[in-house]
Structure 1
Amino acid sequence: MRIVDIREVTAPIASAIANAYIDFSKMTLSLVAVVTDVVRDGRPVVGYGFNSNGRYGQGGLIRERFAPRLMEADPKTLLNDQGDNLDPDRIWATLMKNEKPGGHGERSVAVGTIDMAVWDAVAKIAGKPLFRLLAERHGREADPRVFVYAAGGYYHPGKGVEQLRAEMRGYLDRGYNVVKMKIGNGLAEDRPRIEGVLKELDGKAQLAVDANGRLNLEDAIAYARMLRDYPLFWYEEAGDPLDYALQAALAEFYPGAMATGENLFSHQDARNLLRYGGMRPDRDWLQFDCALSYGLCEYERTLKVLQVAGWSPSRCIPHGGHQMSLNIAAGLGLGGNESYPDLFQPYGGFPDGVRVEDGHITMPELPGIGFDGKSALIKVMRALAE
């Protein structure tokens, strides 16, 4: 049993949308295929992975540094003790060989992308959905019902309050009961947008708002004073993700739930957030995204950090809107997952036929991460592998 090839392609997911910090007109991602010599149903087992939106494709790092390390390794060192499957932790250690500590930037995305593909292959070789494999490995009971919220509400040229309301109405019609919109361009612009959406929701769903790290402390506090008058689901990433002092100061002005973590890429960063960021385990939410932060192997270490700090994994709702995090949520008891009903296709969303009901989806019983159940996505993936 061995990995016979690792392939990567950098693909566009460009859109005219913008948040308060960046636009997505040049956005790309890396799609990776880890090809094995294991055969199931007459086809070689191939694991697939890709990185989340908001960080660009990592083709250079994958092709020049990380893929060669795996291909040069003794295949036996990448297997589990029984020799009947790949070992994700041993593969992760091989990927990170000769990497200095710290520097959790672009390389965390490259490794996270490959790690996703490895876990997909491992679960396929085992003949199980990844969420059930994870639950078994951790001695848990898998829960295939997962909370999801609809992320949207981006800034867009010519998009006014009425268009924003129509977008949110569409999410309600599709079964969501929590929706999210972007803020951060200024109180004068955002107040009517927020109030318009709340009027549209009319108590049928909750609203979360996301500043994407745009605000300084003064502006973050000004927003907090406005936002605390609204019944929001959370106030997300007000300031720079590494400005823990800013995050901690907000708790004095905003008694409601806050959320952050999508731009922290290691268990060490997660630990620092919990130590110094003033996050409150009884109400706040953590958004670490395995696809951007070295993958599931590192995410398991992050969950241990949370446990030591007295946090429940149910306070985690990852960023990214991908099926990998859905499997982690169902297998390891996270609080749910982000979703992008209309954006970043075909990579976002759920397998065909999966519907949102009362803000939840039910995981299908598909081997691996479940990419084979999403026809538009698996077509693109197989084109890379075959």
Structure 2
Amino acid sequence: MRIVDVREITKPIASPIRNAYIDFSRMTASLVAVVTDVERAGRRVVGYGFNSNGRYGQGGLIRERFRDRILEAPPGSLVDEAAGTLDPHGIWAAMMTNEKPGGHGERSVAVGTLDMAVWDATAKIASKPLFRLLAEREGRAAAPRVFVYAAGGYYYPGRDDAALRAEMRSYLDRGYTVVKMKIGGAPLHEDQRRIEAVLAEIGAQARLAVDANGRFDRETAVAYAEMLRQYPLFWYEEAGDPLDYALQAGLADVYPGPMATGENLFSHQDARNLLRYGGMRPDRDWLQFDCALSYGLVEYLRILDVLGQFGWSPSRCIPHGGHQMSLNIAAGLGLGGNESYPDLFQPYGGFPDGVRVEDGHIVMPELPGIGFEGKSDLIQVMRELAE
């Protein structure tokens, strides 16, 4: 059993949208394939992965550093003989050879992208859905029914409140019970008007989360908190810079409702510092670490271990990114759910064909690996890279 090739291609995921910090007009993503010499059901096993939306492709790092470390490692160090499949932890260790601690920026995304493909291949070789493989390894029961929320509400050129309301209504019509919109890209009074327009549209059918994408300084974050606390929001997300733990901690004094952060923290050390110094409250707040951005599932398991040390349940994690890898982690490891993008970042976002949202939840299909083969538009693009 060997990995015979690792391939990467940078693909556009551009869209005429913006949040409080960036626009997506030139956004790209890396698509990778980990090719093995194993066959299942008459086809060579290939694991696929891609980095999460909102981060640029990592082709340079993948091709120049991490790919060769996998291919040059002793093949036996990459295989779990007892399990009869690949060893993601051994492969992760090979990728991180000669890497200094710290520096959890672009490197963590490159490794996370490859790690996704490795786990996809690992579960395919085992002929199991990844969520069931993970549950078995952790000695727990899988939970195929997963909560999902609809992320959208971006700023579009020339878009008015009526269009925003129509977008949110479309999510309710598709079965979602929680929707999310962007704030911080307009003055506070305009954002308040937009929020009230959405709340009027969704009524009691759903709850609204708002996301500032780390835009605010302390004064602005507090001003928004004082405005937002009058509404029954699902959460107030990422008010300030992700590493400004004092700002995050200070918001708890003025905002009693749930808050969420973590999508821009890329390691278990970052997670530990957030819980030490960020004032996050395990009875109401949410953690959004995204394995595709934070060195992959191998590191995400370390993050979950840190959460346990601080008394947090995995059920308080709802990952960023809207990809099927996090869906499998949620179903296999007992997370609180997952983000989804019903209309954006295609073909990478969304669910396998035939999967529908009902009462804010989906049921995981019984597909080997992550389940990419069940999404016809995505697997076509993936197979063009590998086959």
Give yes or no for TM over 0.5: yes
* CA distance in structure 1 between the partners assigned to 2:85 and 2:163 by the alignment: 50
Which letter maps to 2:2? R
Structure 1 position 83, deviation (Å): 7.0
2:353 equivalent in structure 1: 352
- Render the CA deviation track for 1:266-300: whole Å, top value 9, x for unaligned: 00000000000000000000000000000000000
- Render the CA deviation track for 1:189-241: whole Å, top value 9, x for unaligned: 10110000000011110000000000000000000000000000000000000
1:136 equivalent in structure 2: 136
* CA distance in structure 1 between the partners assigned to 2:150 and 2:176 by the alignment: 7
2:322 equivalent in structure 1: 321
- Render the CA deviation track for 1:3-60: whole Å, top value 9, x for unaligned: 0000000000000000010000000000000000001111110000000011100000
Which letter maps to 2:364? M
Task: Confirm whether residue 190 of structure 1 aligns to residue 225 of structure 2.
Answer: no
3-state SS in 2 of match to 1:55: coil
* CA distance in structure 1 between the partners assigned to 2:196 and 2:84 by the alignment: 56
3-state SS in 2 of match to 1:232: coil
1:43 equivalent in structure 2: 43
3-state SS in 1 of match to 2:292: coil
Structure 1 position 188, deviation (Å): 1.7
Q: After TM superposition, where is structure 1 displaced by more than 4 Å over at least 4 residues in a row?
A: none
Structure 1 position 316, deviation (Å): 0.1
* CA distance in structure 1 between the partners assigned to 2:342 and 2:83 by the alignment: 40
Unaligned 5+ runs, structure 1: none
Which letter maps to 2:107? R
3-state SS in 2 of match to 1:175: coil
Which letter maps to 2:85? N
Structure 1 position 75, deviation (Å): 0.6
2:20 equivalent in structure 1: 20
| Aligned length in residues | 386
* CA distance in structure 2 between the partners assigned to 1:354 and 1:193 by the alignment: 31
* CA distance in structure 2 between the partners assigned to 1:186 and 1:301 by the alignment: 39
* CA distance in structure 1 between the partners assigned to 2:195 and 2:73 by the alignment: 53
The aligned runs of 1:4-19 (5 Å cut-off) are 4-19=4-19
Which letter maps to 1:332? L
Which letter maps to 1:286? L
Which letter maps to 1:208? A
3-state SS in 2 of match to 1:329: helix
1:58 equivalent in structure 2: 58
| TM-score scaled by length of structure 1 | 0.99
* CA distance in structure 1 between the partners assigned to 2:315 and 2:87 by the alignment: 27
3-state SS in 1 of match to 2:71: helix
2:80 equivalent in structure 1: 80
Which letter maps to 2:122? V
| TM-score scaled by length of structure 2 | 0.99
Unaligned 5+ runs, structure 2: none
* CA distance in structure 1 between the partners assigned to 2:311 and 2:225 by the alignment: 26
Structure 1 position 85, deviation (Å): 1.1
Structure 1 position 82, deviation (Å): 2.4
3-state SS in 1 of match to 2:85: coil
* CA distance in structure 2 between the partners assigned to 1:83 and 1:246 by the alignment: 46
* CA distance in structure 2 between the partners assigned to 1:191 and 1:338 by the alignment: 23
